[in-house]
Structures are given as C-alpha cells and as structure tokens.
Structure 1
Amino acid sequence: LLEQADVLVQNLAPGAAARLGLSYEALRERHPQLIVCDISGYGSDGPYRDKKAYDLLIQSESGFLSVTGLPDAPAKAGCSVADISAGMYAQSNILAALLQRGKSGRGCHIEVSMLESMVEWMSYPLYYAFDGAAPPPRAGAAHATIFPYGPFRAGDGKTVMLGLQNEREWQVFCTQVLELPELASDARFSSNSRRTQARDELRALIDEGFARLSSEQLIARLDAAQIANARMNDMHDVWEHPQLKARGRWTEVDTPCGPIPALLPPGEVDSFTPRMDAVPALGQHSDAILLELGWDQAAIERLRAVGAV
C-alpha cells in the first residue's frame, strides 16, 4: 500500500506505530515522498503522553465543559467535537503538506494532538480568562456576556433564539418586537452590562411579551425589525429544513440496505461535482484490493478459507 500512497494517517497509541515499523523515521528513507500524519490524544511526549484520550475526556481537559452547560451542571457537546477538531486539523495540515511536497518533492511528518486542537477552538473563553481574569460563566444556550441573546419561549411553547448586538437593536427590539417603547429608555437596561446584570428581571418582561405571540408571529416581528433570530430545530426539523431543500443540498446514495438521503459536502465548487459513491457492503472490495496488491485469486481464496478476509 505504501508504494502507491501519498499519505499515511494513524491514530494508534503513542509508540505503537513505531513498534510496527510504521513511524515516519522508519519509512522516510524508503518512501521519501510519503506524508505521515500521527493523531493522538495528547502528543508524542510530555507527562500526558500515555493517558487514554476519548472525545469527552478531551472536552473536559481542554476546558470546554467548564464553559458549556448550566451554572450547576456542565454539559458535553451534542456531537464529538474533540474528534472532529483533530480530524479537521489533520486534514488541513495534510493539504498544506501536499502543496509543500509539490514544490519540494519530499514528504514530511505531521503530529496532531486532540488536546491542542480543542484548546485552539477555546481561544475566546481562554483569553477572556487571561492573566487570572474570571472566565465566562456557564449560561446554558444563552450568551454569557450579552443579553438578550439566547433561547426564549413563545406562546405556542416553541423556542426561538434571538440575539441583540448593539444599542440600536435594543431600541428597535423594545419598540417593534416587544411594543414596549418605554423599556428603551429604562435606566435598568440602558447598556448591555446593565441588561446582563438585570437579566432575570428583563427576562421576565420579555417572557411576558412573547407569551402573547406564536413562534411564527415572533419570528415575523424579529425579521421585520432585522433582529437576528433562528428556530431551535430538532433533528426531524433539520431533515425538512427549507433552506437545505431550496439549495438542493440533499442527494441520494446507495447502501446494502437500500438508498438513503445524504448531505452534499459543505462548500459548493463550480468546477466539479462532489463524488458520492455507494456505501460498500462488508468485504465488498476485499478481492479487488488484494488483487491490486499482487495476490492471486487462489491465494485470496486461501485467506477466505481460514477467515482472514
């Protein structure tokens, strides 16, 4: 496989690839153009080198849990953000390495740490707490330092997210959305810092106003006032999202169990159509891969007879 490979990616425990003879140092002379990308939890050295690293553990070590959730209950992300962040930095570094190889003719070694990838994503709360300053508090789905900015329940029980960014929007919000123009000049709420300090009092007034509106009526008022807003969709809503449908972002791929819908890759490129092949059945391509590697059909059958493939 290495004879024809551009990139080798591995996420075995630190040191395991070297023991198998698959480290960059072991391969670089025989395969000088090969790019080797090692992904690990904490890196190849340092005191945490040999600690086990799962997505949720890295969310915790990186400080993500400390700023996510409710004041008395931290919460993990709803998807595997630590795994995804490491994968994204592996991809971007590999693409950069391929461009570099196109100029130098030589491969290189890339090391990606899940912890370092997640800490990079934590830059805003990290610098917020720089030099001993207080970190942003956990505030659920609401913004920790801007109010109103977060989820609010409409009269039909559905939740609408909204966010104000400046004093002009606060004035418009009071007059056109809440229809309480007197709030705009209320000294208790005359700046974002004061609104944040009095968020419980202000939330009660907003909840009272929104209780008279359905979610659709509320969104219509917010849109008319040009206040940023969004529906709090569940997964069923996302399957039916009108924007994704209008932009033709769904396609269909075959699987061993029949066709299923699949989202096209993000990033619409006008020079090619993304390749979306069928999901293969278990072992469907084993023979083709082994034949490509030089095994003959008789040898493949012997492997199959002993349960190796």
Structure 2
Amino acid sequence: MDRELPLYRDPVFDGATDPVLVWNRGLRQWWMFYTQRRAAVPGPGVAWVHGTDIGIAVSEDAGTTWLYRGIARGLEYEPGRNTYWAPEIFWAEGLYQMFVSYIRGVPDRWEGHPRQILHYTSANLIDWRLAGPVRLDSDKVIDAAVRRLPSDDYRMWFKDEAHGSHTYSADSADLIAWSRPVPVITDRAHEGPNVFELAGWYWLITDEWRGLGVHRSTDLETWRYQGLILGVPGKRAHDADFGRHADVVETGDGETAYIFYFVHPGLAPGTDPDATYEARRSSIEAARLRVVDDTLVCDRDADIPDQFLPVN
C-alpha cells in the first residue's frame, strides 16, 4: 500500500472524520461511513463542523483503495439542514443498525445545543429508516458504540457531555429499549468510545484530543487504563497529527486488528483549527494493532499490506 498518500480524503468537502467500517454482506465490499465535515466551506465559527451528512466510501479490494459513493439516504429527522455525526453501524437482528449523533440545524458554536442519538435500520446500507431516538436520560449525548454482550444483550457506550464528557453505558435486549445509563470511564474528559476484542482481552479506546486512551478489561465491566496510542504524530507528512476518533476492525485471527482514525494533517501546533481550510481539512488513516505483553501496541509508521481487511 502506498503510505505516501492518506488512506482516504473526502472529495467533496475534504473533511472525513469519525469513521466506522462495515462489511456489505450483499455486495461483498467494505463500506466506510464517516462524518462529512465541510472543511472547504467558509462560514462563521464552527458552522463547518455542523450541517454535516454521513459520507460513504467503498472498497472493493479489501481496504487498498476507497471510492466515494455519496451519502446515507433517509436520515432526515426534522425539516431543513441538520447535523449528523459519528455513525455506529453493524449487522444485527437481520438488518444493518445505525446509531448516529444528531443536532438540530447548523450551529456556529460548540456549546448550547441539545444533542441526541438516533437509531436507524437498513437492508442495503444505502436507504435508512428511522427506528426512533434513543432515550438515555440526557440531552447532551453523542458518539455511540455498540457491542453484543456474552449474554446476547447489547451494550451501548457513549459520551455524555452533561456529565463531564465521560463515557457512560446502557444495555438493551432489542436495541430499542435501553437501561438507565451508568458511568464507565470518568477519569478525564474524552469522546468517541470504541470497544473491541483482541488477544483474549476487551479493549475500550477513547479520543482524549491528545491521542487515544486505552482501557483493558476481562469482562466488559471493569476497565483498567493503560495509556495512549497514536499520541505521537506520525513521520509521514499526511499523518503528522494525533490520532483522533477511531474505529477498529477485528480480523478474526485473534492476533491482529486494524484501527481507522482521522487526523488534521495541516494543523500546526498552536494553530486555530477553525481559522483556515488547511487547518480544518482532515483525512482517514489506518494502522495495525497488536497486543504485546498484555499491552495494546500501534505502530502508525509501519507499512500495512494491500488487501489487509478480512473478506468474509
């Protein structure tokens, strides 16, 4: 794989962030959904991170190359231009399930706007149907991550900005009704939780805006903080930033996984990230994950092979 180029750049607004990958069972392709930030569109304040659609890029060669295919259809929740962030998508209950962050309108400030998570379903990954808003006892929730538990129930981890910007979780038997949320990771503010399994451990990563915090567990209940990965900018010019809001694809061999994260390659230290297009633009990168001596390890500068994603 040519590591002298980013793995993926959005060709419309150049603001691909918050990726999630899902295997298209019908077409036998990897599909990447992401927040389509409008980095190339000038506007007041942080309007460029709002009014966003959910972009779609498709790989027919197991991750080597990616082609933009448009946006997810059918997400309209209220009239007008609204904001969709950070999709979580997976196959369950005979359908593709999407949990996506939603904000009304196109705010030009970060604060002061209710945020919620909406649930959609699809048979084909293109056309989505609203199942309803997720009731989580807070009007400031974003960044859902869902995993099936050994009990066959589901657990959702998410960021609750009304409670310290910490990770909370709720459980469900049917992906519709959710239990009362409980705190999970409360040591520092963060966002973008993601949970996966590798080398006999469960791992929970969070975006600490200085790299990705890593937490380890044997039971999905008690988590031990390990430190950061992707906290040192990469050596390649297009990867010279902290790794941000990520998704992980488990390969199935129990030894290796791949992390997909976004970066602001033109964001120099001390630069206002909202000031210029060069600072705002973002791209998506990938790197291999391994576990060495019970520690999660990520070498972002190491080459990854062509066709590195599993084909089911």
Normalised by the shorter chain, which TM-score bucket? under 0.3
TM-score, with structure 2 as normaliser:
0.25
TM-score, with structure 1 as normaliser:
0.25
Q: Which has the higher contact order (CA 8 A, sep 6+)?
A: 2
Higher strand residue share: 2
Higher helix residue share: 1
